[in-house]
Structure 1
Amino acid sequence: MGPVTSLDLNAANVTRLDFSAANPLLTLENLQNTQTFTEVVNRMLREKAAEVGVGGYLEHRVIYRRSGLFNELSEARSLHLGIDIWAPAGTTVFSPLPAVVHSFQDNANFGDYGPTIILQHQLDGISFYTLYGHLNRASLQNLETGKVIAKSEKIAEFGPYPENGDWPPHLHFQVMADLQGLSGDYAGVCKPSEKEIFAAICPNPNLILQSRHLT
């Protein structure tokens, strides 16, 4: 596997961040304004003497209360299906394996992925997909479905808000065994009651990232 970003995710300046209800900083007031939310993330990093944050796979999060996109009447979607890498906008994103571009689009709703790329890979005869969300819009330029991507080729950059879906700068990285017919988008958050279903479709992305901070 090649790297997913230009960051060393095993470095001492990387830490795991908590976006669950156990974090007292994650009040609705702090989450609603993206500038304030960004300041909260930066404070979380400073308190751990870190520059990069990682984590979130199958984490039950409160941060999705900021957007109606996740608040369904029967049960809110709050279980995170990828791993987030919190780092400055402009950070480079690579394909960890040879790939072809499956699809891409700007999911521009507030709290959504913003610019998103999905790659398709083949490994030992098995086809699977990786999703890269919260990119900058420039990352979607000159892309086309079926474009061949080499291992470790640059594919994108972390986006700034608001163009990244209006989030503090970070990359949402997710692995899917099946896209279920979708294109340019796939759920990155599910209902807690659906955990077993989606965990089977979306395995732990640290299988690729290999960060010691996530083991």
Structure 2
Amino acid sequence: MSINNFSNFLNSISSASLRVLDASISNSKYIALDLSKDNKALKSIDVSSSEALENYISNHIKLNTAKVAFGGYLEQRSIYKRSNYFNDDNPKTERNIHLGVDLWIAARTPIYTPLHAMVHSFKNNTNFGDYGPTLILKHSIEGVEFYTLYGHLSIASIENLKVGQEFKQGEQIATLGDATVNGDYPPHLHFQIIKDLQNYKGDYPGVSNKIDLEFYKVNCPNPNLLLKLI
């Protein structure tokens, strides 16, 4: 299935927004957040500090009378420079292009599956700046199989999971972690769609370099095709 066909398929699954957060939060309470390297407002923020970045994001949410800040798909970010896990002296191979959508909201916020799902795998990815506790769900709809990844969860979220465990659409699957467990970020959910997991388990690249970007655009289409936040 081509990228256009897969994207069209994802978009056709539901005409309404599919939720990974509380369904009672309307789209009007989601505010877009720009964390790209081109956002001049970030020049005065120490983005290497999870506390400073959290203050910036919280203020952005409050100023817009919102409940959730979201965004980041294919966003080129400077925040990853703080970690050797992403950093590289070669600008072509440095991983700094974000492949999912981030949903910024408080720690311990419940997370739900947007579709009927089966647990594929889970893992605590503990590199500095990594996902921390991570869950990957497998979906099969009309004969099409694909995966969704949920990063920056609480440790409790993956303690009692079992591979093959099923969740119904809208069922709670996890809660968000805080900076002590989530790779040292302000609390948020990294939500990513993956067509081919390439034998990964409990992990999958959520940030790309420029060289590999065209592949990841195909393999990880825009999560907003499901979320429909804008």
TM-score normalised by length of structure 1: 0.92
Mapped to 2, the partners of 1:109 and 1:28 lie a distance apart of: 27
What is the one-letter code of the residue matched to 1:129?
Y
Q: Which aligned segments of 4 or more residues in structure 1 are displaced greater than 4 angstroms?
A: 7-10
Letter in 1 for 2:60: M
- The count of corresponding residues between Structure 1 and Structure 2 is 212
Match of 1:20 among 23, 29, 36: 36
Superposed displacement of residue 45, structure 1: 2.5
The one of 183, 190, 200 aligned to 1:165: 183
Q: Secondary structure at the match of 1:32?
A: coil
Q: Which runs of 5+ in 1 are unaligned?
A: none
Q: Deviations over 1:131-168 (max 9, x none)?
A: 00000111012101111121111100111111111110
Structure 1 residue aligned with 2:10: none
The change in CA–CA distance for 1:33 and 1:64 in structure 2 (over 3 A counts) is same
The whole-number CA distance in structure 2 between the counterparts of 1:211 and 1:24 is: 25
Provide closer, same or farther for how the CA distance between residues 16 and 192 of structure 1 changes in structure 2, counting only shifts above 3 A.
same
Amino acid at match of 2:137: L
Letter in 2 for 1:211: L
**Does the 8 Å CA contact 1:26/1:62 hold for their aligned counterparts?**
no
The aligned amino acid for 2:185 is W
Please state if 1:127 is matched with 2:145: yes
> For the Cα contact (< 8 Å) 1:38–1:168, is it kept in 2?
yes
Q: 1:28, 1:65 within 8 Å by CA — same for their partners in 2? A: no
Q: Is the 8 A contact 2:115 2:170 kept in 1?
A: yes
Which whole-Å CA distance do the structure 2 matches of 1:165 and 1:45 have between them? 22
The one-letter code matched in structure 2 to 1:24 is K
The reply to whether residue 61 of structure 1 matches residue 77 of structure 2 is yes
- Is the 2:30–2:229 Cα contact (8 Å) retained in structure 1? no
Which residue identity lines up with residue 45 of structure 1 in the other structure?
I
CA 56–143 in structure 1, closer or farther in 2 if over 3 Å, else same: same
- Kept in 2, the 8 Å contact 1:134–1:169? The answer is yes
Q: Contact 1:71–1:77 (CA<8 Å) still a contact in 2?
A: yes
- SS of residue in 1 equivalent to 2:217: helix
Which AA in structure 1 matches 2:46? N
SS of 2:211 mapped into structure 1: helix
1:116 equivalenced with 2:134 (yes/no): yes
Alignment match of 1:79 (pick from 83, 86, 97): 97
Q: Which runs of 5+ in 2 are unaligned?
A: 1-13
Equivalent in the alignment of 1:45: 61
After TM superposition, the structure 1 stretch with the greater mean CA deviation from structure 2, 71-80 or 139-148, is: 71-80
Q: Equivalents in 1 of 2:184, 2:42: separation in Å?
A: 16
C-alpha separation in 2, matches of 1:67 and 1:41: 20
Change beyond 3 A, Cα 1:9–1:178: farther
* Partners of 1:154 and 1:96 in 2: CA distance: 10
1:48–1:66 Cα change, 3 Å: farther
Structure 1 position 176 matched with structure 2 position 176: no
1:12–1:29 CA distance, 2 compared to 1 (3 A): closer
Residue of structure 2 in register with 1:198 after alignment = 216
More divergent stretch after superposition (16-25 vs 170-179): 16-25
SS at match of 2:47: helix
Report deviation, 1:27: 4.2
Correspondence for 2:19: 3
Shift of 1:32: 1.9
CA-based RMSD: 1.7
Q: Identity over the aligned pairs, expressed in percent?
A: 43
- Bigger shift: residues 131-140 or 40-49: 40-49
